[in-house]
Amino acid sequence: MDKKIVEKYRKAGRIASDAREYGMSLVSENTLLLDVAESIESYIIKKGAKPAFPVNIGINDVAAHYTPKHDDKTVFRKGEIVKIDVGAHVDGYIGDTADTVEVGTNRYDSMIKASKEALEVALDLIKPDIDLSIVGSAVEQTIRSYSFVPVSNLTGHSLKQFRLHAGKSVPNIRTNVKEKIKKDDVLAVEPFATNGAGSVGGKTGGNIYRLVRDREPKTENSKKLLKYIKENFGVLPFAERWCRDKVDNVEAVLKELMRAMIITTYPVLRETGRGMVTQAEHTVMVTENGAEVTT
C-alpha cells in the first residue's frame, strides 16, 4: 500500500479512536444523545478529519443505524447499555470504531467483556491467507463462552477510499463461506454480543441517508440539496441534521430524493428477541505478518 495512503488511514484511525473515547466520556444520565453525537462529530472536524458517517448511538436492544435528529430530546437513562460507533476519514480513508458503556450501573459487565474479548481474539487471528470464516468461528466461540450469543446477521466489513462497505464481510459466526484475507486489506472488525435471539431487523428509518444514484431530481430545492450531498458526502452516509441549513423544509426534500430513488435510508436495527446488545470495533490494515490496528 502506498505510504501516503497508509498515513491517511493511520491519521483517520487515531482521530476516530480519540473521538470514540471522548464520546464515551460524555455518556451520562440525563445527557442528550444529540449533544453527544454533535460533540463527537465536531471533535473529529477539529482534529483534522471529517465524519465518515453520522455517529451511531445504539441504546439497549438497538444494535446499529440510530443517530439523533436535529430536535431529538432523548436522554441517556441509568441502567442503559450504550454503543457509540464512530467513523472518521482523511481524504476518504476511513477509521471505523465502536465501544459500549453502561450508564451508572454494572449489570452487563460480562456482556460488554464478551464483545471486547471476541474482538481481541479476532484481531489476533487476522493475517494474509486466513479464511474469514475462521475469524467468525473464533468470535462466536468467544461470545458463547460467556453464555451469550453473537448477532449472526451483523458483520464487519472491508473499507476502501470513500467506501464504508467495500465488498468483504467479516462474520461474527461460523460460516461456510471461504474467502481469504489478503495483504493490504483494510477491515472493520465488530463483534456484537446479545442475550437475545442473535439477530437484528427493522424497517424504521434512523435519520441516516446515503446517495445511491446520481440523476436529475425535479425541483430546485432537491437539485440544490443533491449538489450539496455530492460535494460534501459523496456516497458516504450522512445525517438529516447535517443538511438543515442548506434548503427549506429539508425533511420533505429528503423524502423527495428518496421517492426518486436517488438516496436511501438506513433502518434502525433492533435485536429481534429484544435482547440487550454490546459491540466492540476496531479498524485494521492487514500487513505481511498480521494486522495493524489503526483505531
Which residues partner with 282 through β-bridges? 189
Q: Kindly list the catalytic residues.
A: 85, 96, 157, 165, 190, 281
Closest CA to 237 of 199, 266, 196: 266
Residue 138: strand, helix, or coil: helix
Q: Going by C-beta distance under 8 Å and a sequence separation of 6 or more, which residues neighbour residue 232?
A: 238, 242
C-alpha cell at 124: 489476533
Q: Going by C-beta distance under 8 Å and a sequence separation of 6 or more, which residues neighbour residue 74?
A: 32, 33, 34, 68
Residue 46: strand, helix, or coil: helix
Amino acid 208 reads: I
Q: Which helix (H) or strand (E) holds 146?
A: none
In the sheet that 205-211 helps form, which strands lie side by side, from edge to edge? 238-239, 205-211, 263-267
Residue 125: strand, helix, or coil: helix
Q: Which helix (H) or strand (E) holds 229?
A: helix 220-232
Compute how many other C-beta atoms are within 10 angstroms of the C-beta atom of residue 232: 13
Q: Are 262 and 215 in contact (CB under 8 A)?
A: yes
